[in-house]
């Protein structure tokens, strides 16, 4: 009998901007059955009193989980402080990471406790990028600092704070977004670094967090021609499998940054690009309504299913939907604190 895979497990889908589950999202979640969802500002009923928005959010999350039909789901949120803050009053709005670098563990504990109380269990942080380019339009004070030592120390402390409060963290943006002068939400940055250049600076915070057991790492939509030719890091086996897994020894879940971002979107006009991303090493494909039609997840799911079935029949070729990748995601789900 041919072995089958739970292909939907490889998706993390951002909900449409509504505090109630839309019919679009209900149908999509029931069809694809992703590992989880990502929340944005529009999913919080911000104009209502705290008790009301909390109750509406709880209902939204219950309906989403019921639609997905899994015992546990990831509920992800970008939550860094400063510019990257989605929640309404009632959840502490911390300043940007730069301002709390010397108390990152304490801040992370508070963040995790507050978010766990409203149903969030997967914080897309800490930022491990080093703010080494003053012209960088997207990182800046989201980084803990301008040098390796400060970023590494604070990112590690932040991870410890999340762990202490039972919330999963995700180091980002691998292999480093700190030295770009282009925002990958809008265009594709290009960096001339060699593997040796990255090893001397950008990779150092990631390596320390990997050694400390960080459960997830998010990719960067950046071109590194010296390493991967004309493929962004998110689609590069040299970077995700060769560098992150084989060289740095990462055994956790690799999460793509949002596949709707302008930097990567041209590659994903064809759903078969999902096969390329998973083949490169991505475990979770993140697709969010803020920049894309999340309905594209169906085509991506189908492309992955076709490639997986062909590989299972032939015994060669596509190996992205592997038992190892599925096991990594399952282990992440099993870590969730109920």
Neighbours of 55 (CB within 10 A): 13
122, part of any domain: yes
* Separation of alpha carbons 131 and 245, rounded Å: 24
Please tell me whether the overall predicted TM-score, pTM, comes out greater than 0.75 for this model. Answer: yes
CB contact at 8 A, 203 and 220: no
Q: What pLDDT is stored for residue 72 in this prediction?
A: 97
* Separation of alpha carbons 220 and 231, rounded Å: 12
CB contact at 8 A, 152 and 201: no
224, part of any domain: yes
Active site residues: 185, 257
CATH number at residue 163: 3.20.20.300
What is the rounded radius of gyration, in angstroms, for the C-alpha atoms of the chain? 19
220, part of any domain: yes
Q: What pLDDT is stored for residue 2 in this prediction?
A: 37
Nearest to 28 by CA among 68, 71, 74, 75: 68
1, part of any domain: no
Can you give the pLDDT of all 338 residues of the chain as single tens digits? 334 579 999 999 999 999 999 999 999 999 999 999 999 999 999 999 999 999 999 999 999 999 999 999 999 999 999 999 999 999 999 999 999 999 999 999 999 999 999 999 999 999 999 998 777 767 889 999 999 999 999 999 999 999 999 999 999 999 987 767 556 576 678 887 888 988 999 999 999 999 999 999 999 988 888 888 789 999 999 999 999 999 999 999 999 999 988 778 888 888 989 999 999 999 999 999 888 899 999 999 999 998 888 877 776 555 556 789 999 999 999 999 76
Q: What pLDDT is stored for residue 310 in this prediction?
A: 81
Domain count along the chain: 1
311, part of any domain: yes
Q: What pLDDT is stored for residue 294 in this prediction?
A: 95
161, part of any domain: yes
91, part of any domain: yes
Q: What pLDDT is stored for residue 3 in this prediction?
A: 45
Task: Quote the strand ranges of the chain, DSSP E.
Answer: 11-14, 36-38, 74-77, 122-123, 168-169, 171-174, 216-219, 253-255, 285-287
Print the domain residue range for 129. 7-334
- Mean pLDDT (the chain) is 91
2, part of any domain: no
Scanning the structure block, which residue is given the tokens 């009923």?
45
């Amino acid at each position: 009998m041919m072995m089958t895979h739970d292909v939907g497990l490889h998706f993390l889908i951002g909900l449409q901007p509504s505090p109630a589950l839309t019919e679009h999202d209900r149908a999509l979640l029931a069809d694809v059955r992703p590992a989880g969802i990502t929340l944005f500002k529009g999913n919080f009923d911000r104009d209502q009193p705290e008790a009301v928005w909390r109750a509406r959010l709880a209902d939204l999350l219950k309906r989403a989980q019921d639609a997905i039909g899994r015992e546990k789901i990831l509920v992800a949120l970008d939550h860094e402080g400063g510019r990257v803050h989605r929640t309404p009053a009632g959840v502490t709005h911390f300043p940007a990471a730069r301002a709390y670098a010397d108390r990152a563990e304490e801040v992370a504990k508070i963040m995790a406790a507050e978010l766990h109380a409203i149903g969030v269990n997967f914080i897309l942080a800490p930022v491990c990028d080093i703010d080494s380019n003053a012209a960088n339009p997207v990182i800046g004070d989201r980084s803990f600092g301008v040098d390796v030592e400060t970023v590494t120390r604070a990112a590690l402390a932040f991870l410890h704070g999340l762990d202490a409060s039972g919330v999963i963290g995700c180091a980002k943006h691998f292999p480093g977004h700190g030295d770009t002068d282009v925002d990958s939400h809008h265009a594709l940055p290009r960096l001339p670094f060699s593997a040796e250049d990255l090893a001397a600076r950008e990779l150092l915070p990631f390596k320390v967090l990997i050694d400390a057991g960080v459960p997830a790492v998010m990719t960067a939509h950046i071109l590194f021609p010296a390493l991967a030719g004309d493929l962004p890091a998110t689609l590069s086996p040299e970077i995700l499998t060769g560098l992150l897994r084989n060289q740095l020894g990462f055994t956790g879940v690799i999460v793509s940054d949002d596949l709707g971002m302008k930097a990567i979107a041209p590659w994903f006009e064809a759903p078969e690009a999902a096969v390329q991303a998973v083949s490169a090493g991505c475990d979770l494909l993140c697709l969010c309504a803020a920049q894309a039609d999340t309905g594209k997840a169906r085509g991506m799911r189908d492309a992955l299913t076709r490639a997986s079935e062909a590989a299972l029949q032939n015994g060669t070729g596509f190996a992205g939907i592997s038992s190892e990748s599925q096991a990594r995601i399952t282990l992440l789900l099993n870590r969730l604190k109920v």
